[in-house]
């Protein structure tokens, strides 16, 4: 496959190379059987398609069970891995038709793997038979697959060994689909010159988010229950939020990035991490436990040597609610979602206080300084290599940001020192929350973004997620239960924006256009408190009656 693509690519225009990759993707989809007869014209929401095109049994299996329930059936052998895998493969193909979320459907490989698992007398491991999807740039060395990271010039690059994929594999999973991502991966939407744009399954006029937007759309249509993305500024969390899902960004050194291919290897100003996107909270906890039980630090020694230790919280939480980051006011449905969850938490006896954002505006400039001390050159270089055009949001982030500039080593060191100072200031700020009542804020509850999923090519405000990468705080997205409702979420036409970014975001809001879009919220903990954040989410969802 690698050689074949490389040959195809030799001496071709970028358009021809991209077409070759798309044809390979389409060929992988053509294996679906029974073949799906999907409509050419698509409604705004794609959520009606699965029930219409799957068998009742397939629909039931892919819709009505949690991951833990599926795993129990697989373990009990009341459900075969093959049947489940075929059902998710077909649902993934529907998701692809509706949202353009895949770069490859691994039909043959997944079924062969499922059959093998079914042939075993005992479960192979805790993920026995569970289909898992992965973002394309994470590669698929297990099947010797190439990758492209959404760069035309990289089409056909061999996948390196992935310790994460290996651990999931050893735990018994079935890899069945690889998913789309934006050019450069530095975008909170998903569009590129190879596979095109991934749209939102709830509303095709809206973004699926990015950079793990293929995962977001696939899982958002329940074309899977667990997918693996990566996050350096919101790339797991924005797709989770945009598609009504759960998405977790652990501290950078719990899962790391070993096995991921990216243009900026060796850059450490802000650290990226793998992260799961899932249909429920328990799947996130399971994923973390399974991966860390695999002791990835023995392969990737950059990681903390630390198993996943689920926590139980015994006293009522003290929650700091960040209604706004002080720079960009979230849209009305986000405010309504926060209010709704806060009411539940108060009713459950939790203490709720306002979280004062500390210098989030300047922190964005610091974030960009750390991300692009090369002026964004490394991220753009593979674009230039093929002649493919740079997409507008990529130009906006890598070129137009004033703090994206080439630095000397000493300039870079001083930026890193500023980062350390800011992190220490934020820690002191958090410490100060115990001043009044001797009880420190446990977690921050805040928006997942400045609105629900945005219209395409408009997502220019990362800091509701990127801020926690800058601080290396663990953060989890969960669905608030609120969807955009034009009747309830009226635009405040009298609103006076605080600044240019706020005016831009305010201008984007149109409740009619985003009607029905789910609203995600975010729970953020102090550095190192990954397990605590997940435990806090359990408390909060408990208060919400989940």
235 is in an annotated binding site: yes
CA angle 215, 448, 450 (to 5 degrees): 115
Residues in Cβ contact with 4 at an 8 Å cutoff, skipping those fewer than 6 apart: none
| Continuous segment of H or E residues that includes residue 329 | none
> Which one, of 467, 465, 435, lies nearest residue 450 by Cα?
465
* Contact call for residue 310 and its own copies (CB under 8 A): no
* Contact call for residue 412 and its own copies (CB under 8 A): yes
* Nearest approach, Cβ of residue 526 and its own copies (Å): 7
* Contact call for residue 306 and its own copies (CB under 8 A): yes
Could you confirm whether 466 is annotated as catalytic?
no
Of 46, 123, 135, 208, the catalytic one is 135
* Nearest approach, Cβ of residue 354 and its own copies (Å): 21
Q: Tell me the DSSP string of 282-316.
A: HHHHHHHHHHHHT-GGGT-TTS-----------S-
Could you confirm whether 211 is annotated as catalytic?
yes
| Contact with its own copies (CB under 8 A) among 39, 196, 301, 310 | 301
* Nearest approach, Cβ of residue 304 and its own copies (Å): 6
Residue 34 vs 266, nearer CB to its own copies = 266
Q: Which stretch binds its own copies (CB under 8 A): 14-22, 67-75, 300-308, 331-339?
A: 300-308
- Contact criterion met (CB below 8 Å) for 55 and 34: no
Q: Which stretch binds its own copies (CB under 8 A): 1-9, 112-120, 198-206, 297-305?
A: 297-305
* Contact call for residue 406 and its own copies (CB under 8 A): yes
Q: Edge-to-edge strand order for the sheet containing 443-447?
A: 102-105, 174-179, 131-135, 226-231, 273-278, 246-249, 475-483, 518-524, 443-447, 318-321, 351-354
Residue 88 vs 422, nearer CB to its own copies = 422
Q: Which stretch binds its own copies (CB under 8 A): 10-18, 99-107, 263-271, 453-461?
A: 263-271
What token pair was written down for 478? Answer: 């969960």
* Contact call for residue 311 and its own copies (CB under 8 A): no
Could you confirm whether 235 is annotated as catalytic?
yes
Residues in Cβ contact with 487 at an 8 Å cutoff, skipping those fewer than 6 apart: none
Whether the bond between 34 and the residue before it is cis, its omega within 30 degrees of 0, is: yes
CA–CA dist 534, 317 (Å, integer): 13
Residue 264 main-chain phi, psi, to 5 deg: -115, 40
Residue 77 vs 425, nearer CB to its own copies = 425
* Contact call for residue 428 and its own copies (CB under 8 A): yes
CA–CA dist 505, 56 (Å, integer): 42
Residue 48 vs 161, nearer CB to its own copies = 161
With contacts defined by CB under 8 A, how many residues of the chain interact with its own copies? 44
- Contact criterion met (CB below 8 Å) for 235 and 210: yes
* Contact call for residue 528 and its own copies (CB under 8 A): yes
The 3-state DSSP class for residue 226 equals strand
Q: Which stretch binds its own copies (CB under 8 A): 75-83, 128-136, 195-203, 427-435?
A: 427-435
- Contact criterion met (CB below 8 Å) for 240 and 114: no
CA–CA dist 122, 138 (Å, integer): 29
* Contact call for residue 266 and its own copies (CB under 8 A): yes
Site string for its own copies, 466-485 (x = CB under 8 A): -----xx-------------
Q: Which stretch binds its own copies (CB under 8 A): 232-240, 293-301, 390-398, 452-460?
A: 293-301
> Which one, of 243, 536, 450, lies nearest residue 544 by Cα?
536
List interacting residues with its own copies (CB under 8 A).
258, 264-268, 297-302, 304-306, 373-374, 377-378, 406-410, 412-417, 420, 423-424, 426-428, 430-431, 471-472, 526-529
Task: Kindly list the catalytic residues.
Answer: 135, 211, 235
Q: Which residues sit in the known binding site for substrate?
A: 185, 211, 232-235
């Amino acid at each position: 496959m690698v050689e074949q693509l490389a040959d195809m690519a030799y001496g071709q225009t970028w358009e021809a190379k991209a077409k070759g990759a798309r044809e390979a993707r389409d060929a992988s989809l053509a294996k679906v059987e029974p073949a799906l007869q999907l409509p050419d014209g698509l409604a705004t929401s794609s959520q009606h398609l699965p029930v219409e095109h799957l068998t009742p049994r397939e629909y039931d299996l892919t819709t009505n069970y949690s991951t833990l329930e599926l795993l129990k059936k697989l373990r009990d052998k009341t459900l075969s891995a093959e049947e489940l895998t075929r059902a998710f493969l077909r649902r993934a193909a529907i998701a692809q038709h509706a949202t353009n979320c895949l770069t490859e459907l691994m039909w043959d490989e997944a079924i062969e793997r499922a059959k093998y698992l079914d042939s075993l007398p005992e479960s192979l491991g805790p993920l026995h038979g569970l289909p898992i999807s992965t973002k394309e740039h994470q590669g698929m060395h297990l099947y010797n697959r190439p990758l492209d990271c959404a760069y035309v010039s990289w089409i056909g690059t061999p996948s390196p060994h992935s310790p994460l994929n290996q651990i999931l594999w050893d735990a018994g999973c079935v890899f069945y689909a690889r998913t789309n991502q934006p050019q450069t991966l530095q975008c909170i939407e998903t569009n590129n010159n190879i596979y095109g744009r991934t749209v939102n399954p709830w509303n095709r006029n809206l973004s699926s988010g990015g950079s793990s937007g293929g995962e977001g759309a696939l899982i958002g249509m329940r074309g899977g229950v667990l997918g693996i993305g990566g996050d350096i500024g919101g790339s797991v969390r924005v797709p989770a939020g945009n598609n009504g899902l759960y998405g977790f960004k652990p501290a950078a050194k719990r899962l790391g990035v070993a096995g991921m291919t990216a243009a900026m290897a060796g850059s450490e100003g802000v650290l990226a991490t793998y992260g799961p996107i899932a249909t429920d909270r328990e799947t996130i906890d399971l994923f973390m436990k399974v991966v860390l039980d695999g002791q990835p630090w023995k392969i990737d020694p950059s990681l903390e040597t630390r198993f996943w230790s689920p926590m139980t919280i015994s006293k009522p939480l003290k929650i700091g609610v960040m209604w706004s980051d002080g720079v960009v006011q979230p849209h009305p449905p986000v405010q309504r979602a926060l209010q709704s969850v806060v009411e539940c938490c108060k009713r459950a006896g939790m203490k709720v206080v306002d979280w004062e954002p500390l210098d989030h505006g300047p922190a964005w400039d610091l974030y960009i300084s750390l991300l692009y001390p090369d002026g964004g050159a490394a991220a753009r270089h593979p674009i230039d290599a093929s002649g493919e055009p740079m997409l507008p949001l990529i130009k906006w982030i890598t070129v137009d940001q004033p703090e994206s500039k080439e630095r000397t080593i000493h300039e870079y060191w001083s930026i890193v020192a500023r980062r350390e100072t800011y992190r220490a200031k934020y820690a002191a700020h958090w410490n100060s929350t115990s001043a009044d009542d001797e009880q420190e804020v446990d977690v921050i509850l805040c928006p997942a973004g400045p609105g629900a999923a945005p219209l395409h090519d408009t997502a220019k405000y990362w800091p509701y997620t990127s801020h926690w990468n800058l601080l290396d705080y663990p953060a989890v997205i969960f669905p608030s239960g609120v969807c955009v409702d034009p009747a309830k979420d009226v635009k405040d036409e009298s609103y006076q924006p605080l600044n240019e970014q706020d005016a831009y975001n305010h201008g984007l809001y149109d409740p009619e256009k985003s009607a029905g879009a789910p609203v995600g919220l975010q729970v953020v903990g102090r550095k190192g408190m990954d397990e605590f954040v997940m435990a806090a989410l359990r408390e909060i969802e408990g208060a919400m009656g989940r």
